[in-house]
Amino acid sequence: MTIYGAAIIAGCMFVGSFIGDALGGLMGIDANVGGVGFSMLFLILITGSDLFGKKSSAATSEGLEYWQSMYIPVVAAMTASQNVVQAVSGGVMAVLAGLIAVAVGFALLPVLNNMFKSYEVERETEVKGE
Amino acid sequence: MNAVFEVAQNIMINNGLVMSFLFIGLLMWFSTIISKYLTKGRIHSSAIAIILGLVLAYVGGVLTGGNKGIADIAAFTGVGVLGSSMLRDFTIVSTAYGASISEIKKCGIVGIISLLLGVVSAFLIGAIFAVCFGYADAVSITTIAAGTVTFVVGPVTGSALGASSPVITISIAAGVVKSIAVMVVTPFAAKRIGLTTPKAAMIYGGLMGTTSGVAAGLAATDTKLVPYGAMTATFYTGLGCLLCPTVLFWLTRLMF
């Protein structure tokens, strides 16, 4: 059934959020640490398992794919309910700090990406050398 | 005429979530048209939908004085439900279906490095601007810097350190600006900075961190990359809440 697909995602989200909240609690901070990430890992593991391959029907996959395809509309709805006025009226400092932080992030991305690339190559040549 | 308007408005209010399907459906359709005919397909329709969404959010905020964009207008409260963090996270998790576990394993270390670098660099930028604009006490500087990390970390840090309310507001604003800038700029910058592979998406998620920004930015760039970026970004706010009021505050206090 199609609902099974949605139920699997919801189940993963429950367990993942639980772990995220527990991690936050253990660290003594009022935040969910990696809840969505853990949920995603569970979903990958469950849907990649042999049992899932054997037991699930096409309708289950449709249920999963339906919510996947709703992602962009949900994001559009999310942007339409952002507090844009506050962002714009937060003053020059807030705007500048936010913008420059993003610029720095974009500048760091190719650096890290390349650093890791060379690391990967090194490891490969090491293995070959042995 | 007024009666007709009232009936229509009541339908919109009483069926909020369902009517948001209609509203967002029209928004997506309109964005596709603009993408196809005005930009000849150069700008992805999702990017246009996101920019239009932000414009609508601005209009809603100006009209109502609220903080939930268009969702503060009674007839459009359903948009707020569809775009809530609950459904956002639910659909983000769903994108993991079909993602490759080996790609994720490949970048464990660089994911952690990008998270640390992302939090520290955003904090540093925020702190520099706070000092430049005349803040001299460690609590205010740390709070504003934490807001630059994300708009959740700002108020969490601010209330932990006992920062003043205007400072917390500024910190939230900085975070919201960051998140919106990530949404808008990502699809245009993606190719130039090499944001085309799962690995790059994981680094990107760790560096940017804002879940909404990363979610929207990758949606408008390449939906296949969403699970990888979201995977690291989800640890960012937690890491920020952990580091800002503790280690980073302590370091700031050493200097001020």
pLDDT in tens, A1-30: 889 999 999 999 999 999 988 988 887 777
pLDDT tens digit at each of 256 positions of chain B: 788 999 999 999 999 999 999 999 999 999 999 989 988 877 778 888 888 998 999 999 999 988 889 999 999 999 999 988 899 889 989 988 877 777 777 777 888 899 999 999 999 999 999 999 989 999 999 999 999 998 888 888 888 888 888 888 888 888 888 988 998 899 889 989 999 999 999 999 999 998 888 988 998 899 889 989 988 888 888 788 888 888 899 999 998 8
**Mean pLDDT along residues A50-75:** 88
Question: Does A95 share its domain with A68?
Answer: no
Chain A residue with Cα closest to B143: A94
* pLDDT of the residue at A128: 45
Question: Does A71 share its domain with A110?
Answer: no
Predicted TM-score (pTM) of this structure: 0.79
Residue type, A76: A
**Mean pLDDT along residues A51-60:** 86
CA distance B233 to A107: 17
Contacts with A36 from chain B: Cβ below 8 Å: 89, 92-93, 211, 230, 234
**Residue A37 pLDDT exceeds 60:** yes
Neighbours of B86 (CB within 10 A): 12
Question: Does A77 share its domain with A87?
Answer: no
CA distance A78 to A72: 10
Question: Does A89 share its domain with A115?
Answer: yes
CB-CB: which of B52, B96, B152 is closest to A40?
A: B96
* pLDDT of the residue at A129: 43
* pLDDT of the residue at B1: 76
Q: Is the model more confident about A89 or about B74?
A: B74
| Residue A128 token pair | 């070959």
DSSP conformation class of B163: -
* pLDDT of the residue at A119: 57
What is the number of CB-based contacts under 8 A between chain A and chain B?
Answer: 326
B120-123 own/partner pairs: CB under 8 Å, 24+ apart: B120/B243, B120/B248, B121/A101, B121/A104, B121/A105, B121/A108, B121/B207, B122/A101, B122/A104, B122/A105, B122/B148, B122/B149, B122/B178, B122/B209, B123/B148, B123/B149, B123/B240, B123/B243, B123/B244, B123/B248
Question: Does A89 share its domain with A73?
Answer: no
Contact A116 B148 (CB under 8 A): no
Chain A residue with Cα closest to B150: A98
Question: Does A31 share its domain with A54?
Answer: yes
Question: Does A1 share its domain with A58?
Answer: yes
**Which of residues A64, A82, A100 is at a domain's end?**
A82
Q: Alpha-carbon torsion A34, A38, A39, A41, what sign? A: positive
For tokens 């709703």, what's the residue? Answer: A70
Instruction: Give the domain extent around A4.
Output: 1-82
Residue type, B232: T
CA distance B110 to B118: 12
Question: Does A7 share its domain with A67?
Answer: yes
Question: Does A26 share its domain with A58?
Answer: yes
Domain residue ranges in chain B:
2-84, 101-255
State the nearest Cα–Cα gap between B23 and chain A, in angstroms.
9
CA distance A75 to A81: 10
**Residue A130 pLDDT exceeds 50:** no
Cβ neighbourhood burial of A129 (10 Å; 0-12, 13-18, 19+): exposed
Mean of all residue pLDDT scores within chain A: 84
Contact A32 B173 (CB under 8 A): no
Closest CA to B193 of A121, A113, A119: A113
Contact A40 B231 (CB under 8 A): yes
Question: Does A74 share its domain with A34?
Answer: yes
Which candidate in B30, B70, B101, B177 is best for mutational testing of the A interface (most A CBs within 10 A)? B177
Question: Does A66 share its domain with A87?
Answer: no
* pLDDT of the residue at B249: 92
Closest CA to A105 of B16, B218, B185, B57: B185
Closest CA to A40 of B102, B142, B227: B227
CA distance B145 to B164: 14
State the nearest Cα–Cα gap between B187 and chain A, in angstroms.
12
